[in-house]
Structures are given as C-alpha cells and as structure tokens.
Structure 1
Amino acid sequence: MTSMLPEEGEHLTTGWEDDLAPTDSLVRQAVLAHVSWARALTTAARGTFAEGPDWCAGRGGAPSALHNWAIVTRPPRDWAQTVGAIATAYPDGVAALVISPFPTPDLTRHGLGLVGHPPLMFRPTTTVTTTPATPLDVREATTDQQLRDAERVLIEGYPMPDMADLPPGDFYRPEVVAGPTRVFVGYDGETPVATSAAHSAAGVTVVENVAVLASARGQRAGAALTWAAATAWPGQSAVLIASDDGQPVYERLGYLRLERWTCWLRP
C-alpha cells in the first residue's frame, strides 16, 4: 500500500488557497459568490470594500447592517486578529453583519452579538420542480421606480426598520443591476408586495433579499420570488443563506441543506 503520509515540505491543500479554482468545493463557491455579492452592494452604494488574508468587509455608507457585510473567507489562524481587522473597516455606530462559513469561538468578548447559525442551502441544476403558481405579477426591476419598489418591500417585509428613514433609492441604486445582479418584484395589481435578488459569481447564483409583505402571505409569494432569483441564470446552481422560517419554502423548491454558517452582529 502506498504511504498516505505527506513528504517533508509538501503542501497539503486546505481548500482555501488563493490560486485554487472556485469549483474546488460547493462551499468555496458559495463563499466566493457571497464575497462578490457584498462587493457589488458596496460598489452600488459608492462605499468602501476592504480585504485581508482571511476576511473582507464592505461598508455601504449607511448605518444599517444590510448595507455592511463582513465575511470570513478562510479559517483564521487568530480569530482575535481577524475580528480586530474587520472592526477597523467600520466606524463606531455603524452596524455590520459578520458572516463566517466556519465554526467560531465566542466572539462576544470582541463586542459582537450572536445572531444565529443559518444553514447554507444549495439547489443543483439537475433539480426538477414545478414553477410556483402565484397570482402575483413577477417582474424584473430594471427602472428606478421598480428598484425603489423592491427596496421598500425589502425594508418593510424583511423587515429592516433601521433603513426606514433612508432616502428612496439609497440601497437599490441603478448601479446595482448594471453588473451580474438582478432584482425582482412581485406585484399585486400595481402594488409591490414581494421581492428577491440574484447575483452571479464563482459559477453559482446567490439568492438574497427575499422579502414578502404581510398582506401577500398565503399567495406563494416567497416561493415565486425565490424561484425567479434561483433561475435567473438557468445554467447555474443556486445557493442561499436561509432563515429558519424560510427553509421549508426553499426545500420545496429543491434546495438542500449543506452546512450551517455562523452570523454575528457588530452593533
């Protein structure tokens, strides 16, 4: 039997090297795609995007955590150092989500609050499910008004009360759909009641910002808007970070739970 022990000085691939293909693993694809999504939001908001060897941090320019995403991009050797570096990307009083695909130690000593352990879910292209039936008219947001409609539904339906006082169009600016991002809105007549977003990167589609107003519950709005985002690029698999409430909806659409990530809030 050939020895499985590495030779002296031999590098053992961890799956998180810079020069490794995005497709090395589904989790790697999901991490890189979410980094791209954070960068796209920051760019559209004309904010700043900072990166280190095992983290990235996007600051969109508003105090809401939805504007400010930090992602741990590989297992840190020193969590205190990584969290400290992320903290420098945000001034005092600016909230940020810190998302880790890897198990974390207790970060409360660094001023973070635990949000939860949401599952990363994956929908392969081989999945066969029926397009969700809904009375809503699902449209892609391509105009300023449609983007404002999506933004208002997101703020009220998610909900994101800390974004309620932002000027219309401050989050979904036209630049956000100028690149590999698509936004969808579900209308009841001419009233926007549901929304979702899709972002293409690293060979997968990130499904994000699924929100439904209370008035539209029971119309399969969440399923329809998730479907629109997941199939925005039909040749790609889709990934999303799910809430506990959303998991049953996603499972009915063919999503599989891969693993749980960890989400912290920097208040």
Structure 2
Amino acid sequence: MASSILPPEGEQLATGWEPDLAPADSLIRQAVLAHASWAVDAARRAGKPWYDGDAWAGGILGERGALTNWVVLKQPVDPAGVVAEVARELPGDAPYLFVSPWPTGDLRPSGLGLAGHPPLMLRLPQTATTPPVTDLEIRRVTDADGLADAERVLVEGYPLPELLPFKPRAIYVPAFLDGSAVWVGYDAGVPLATAVAYSAAGLTLVENVAVMPAARGRRAGAAITWAATTTYDDQPAVLIASDDGQPVYERLGYLRVERWTVWVKP
C-alpha cells in the first residue's frame, strides 16, 4: 500500500529550496528570501561589496559592527563551506552576521561566534490588532536629516557600541530610502525611536527597531514597530526577534514560527 503514494520514477520532487521555485511556495521560503534580499540591498545601493547566489546572499556596508553587514543562507547547504565562500567573495576583514534559517554545526573553527537562536516571528495582515498609542510623533523619513536621526537612534539606542561615537552614513546612505521605508518617533523634535520596513518576496521585513532610554515605557517600541509593520498593509510581516522585543511583537499580533540560528564573525 505504501508504494501507491510513491511518485512515478524520475519525477522531480520539490524540496522548497530550489533557486527557481516561486517565493510564495511557502511563508518560510518568503521569509528566507526577504532576509537574503535585505542582506544585499543596502550595500548594493551604496556601491559597496555584495554577493547574491543560489546558496547565500550577503553585503558589506562598513568595516565596524556586525549588524552593519549580513550574510544569509538561502538553502540548507554546508554552512562552513559558505563561510569559506564569503571570505573569497567579500572583504575578509569585515565583521558580519551569519543568519541561517536551519540549525548549523559548530562554526567556531571557521572563526564565528554563536549569537543565539532567535525566533522568526510572523504577522498576517488579517490579524485584528488595536494600534498602540504613544506620546511620540511617528514620522516616515523623507530626507537626509531624518535618515541621520534614524541612524543615530539605531546606533545609540540599540546600541551599537562599535559605531560610537556616532557618525552618520555608517549604515544609512541617502540611496537607502529608495529601497526601504524608515520611521522615526520624535518628542519635541528629538528622535527617540526608529524602525525600518523592507518589502521583498511578498513580505514586509521589519528591521532595525531601536528606542532611546528616554522613550522606554512610553510604548514607543510598539508604536514604531507598528508603523513599520503596516507600511505595506496588504502583506504579511516578519522579523527576527530579540528577547526583549518578543513580548512587544506578540501584543502586535506576531506569532513565533521557528527558531533561526545567528552567528557573528567578529
């Protein structure tokens, strides 16, 4: 009886990770490809080194701070082999995040350190959610000054100590606004919260959520994340959650889907 469910001999069976498979084959595939696109987009727009192949994608925006540079696996391949390819294809001395949607072996012999296994979280656009209220004024960035405000909050509020003291354009250059929607929350003109929405593979990727200490406890994180989440309100939204952020995202209707693996090349 078991043989009755076997496909005809020679039939090609999709695994879900073939390069030519449609992104919408699954929500997980969409999330993987959205993160891979994010890894490349900013570096490409800034004229910095980037690579996008069948197995992985990555970009190098700067020489300091792993969060500045991303490498994302696109297929369940040997991660140590990809680390070796990254060294050949991208500048070898730059730090980066190595993001795998699949469990990996020990990559310490390849020079990486384990950052953790954060959850991928997903929110469907049909989810009924009461929008959070904050006393901050939430604005979408439209110019270089606003972009510098967003970058300052990200560097000082996240924080990213490798990029201190703050100097603009370490992460965001003006062309960044051509591919991403950047949001900033202000209190009397002072930038205190930020988040980014990036659309790719049919999903909204929410990234770079940060809040300054002066805005914590004022629902600033929820409000700025909501602005990014609903930028493209007909799309599902995804994000990789920090421990501190998970309760905030859950109140916005996000669900934990699965854990990913994040390594850091220092």
Q: If the length of structure 1 is used for normalisation, what is the TM-score?
A: 0.95
Deviations 1:235-259, CA, capped at 9 Å, x for gaps:
1110000001100000000000100
What amino acid maps onto 1:221 in structure 2? Answer: A
Maintained 8 Å contact 2:125/2:233: yes
Correspondences of 1:246-261 after superposition (within 5 Å): 246-261=245-260
Moved beyond 3 Å, runs of 4+? 89-93
For residue 166 of structure 1, report the CA deviation from its aligned partner.
5.7
Structure 2 Cα separation of the partners of residues 133 and 57 of structure 1: 36
For residue 92 of structure 1, report the CA deviation from its aligned partner.
4.2
Structure 1 Cα separation of the partners of residues 166 and 219 of structure 2: 29
Match of 1:191 in 2: 190
What amino acid maps onto 2:67 in structure 1? Answer: L
Maintained 8 Å contact 1:153/1:194: yes
What amino acid maps onto 2:22 in structure 1? Answer: A
Structure 2 Cα separation of the partners of residues 177 and 92 of structure 1: 28
Match of 1:115 in 2: 115
- Counting aligned pairs with the same residue, the percent is 55
Structure 2 Cα separation of the partners of residues 89 and 63 of structure 1: 18
Q: 1:52 to 1:40 in 2, by over 3 A?
A: closer
What amino acid maps onto 2:72 in structure 1? Answer: I
Match of 1:226 in 2: 225
Match of 1:97 in 2: 97
For residue 174 of structure 1, report the CA deviation from its aligned partner.
1.4
What amino acid maps onto 1:28 in structure 2? Answer: R
Deviations 1:61-108, CA, capped at 9 Å, x for gaps:
3322122100011100x3332221123234343110000001111111
For structure 2, which runs of at least 5 residues remain unmatched after alignment? none
Match of 1:56 in 2: 57
What amino acid maps onto 2:57 in structure 1? Answer: C
For residue 225 of structure 1, report the CA deviation from its aligned partner.
0.4
Deviations 1:176-221, CA, capped at 9 Å, x for gaps:
1113x10000001110000000001111100000000011100000
Match of 1:31 in 2: 32
2:243 counterpart of 1:244: yes
Deviations 1:157-179, CA, capped at 9 Å, x for gaps:
11101112463233221101113
For residue 141 of structure 1, report the CA deviation from its aligned partner.
0.8
CA RMSD of aligned residues (A): 1.4
What amino acid maps onto 1:248 in structure 2? Answer: P
SS at match of 2:76: coil
Q: If the length of structure 2 is used for normalisation, what is the TM-score?
A: 0.95
The number of residues matched between the two structures is 265
SS at match of 1:61: coil
Structure 1 Cα separation of the partners of residues 55 and 133 of structure 2: 42
Structure 2 Cα separation of the partners of residues 255 and 5 of structure 1: 37
Maintained 8 Å contact 1:210/1:226: yes
For structure 1, which runs of at least 5 residues remain unmatched after alignment? none
Structure 2 Cα separation of the partners of residues 266 and 74 of structure 1: 20
Maintained 8 Å contact 2:50/2:90: no
Structure 2 Cα separation of the partners of residues 92 and 29 of structure 1: 29
For residue 50 of structure 1, report the CA deviation from its aligned partner.
1.1
Structure 2 Cα separation of the partners of residues 28 and 205 of structure 1: 13
Structure 2 Cα separation of the partners of residues 113 and 48 of structure 1: 23
Maintained 8 Å contact 1:45/1:171: no
Match of 1:149 in 2: 149
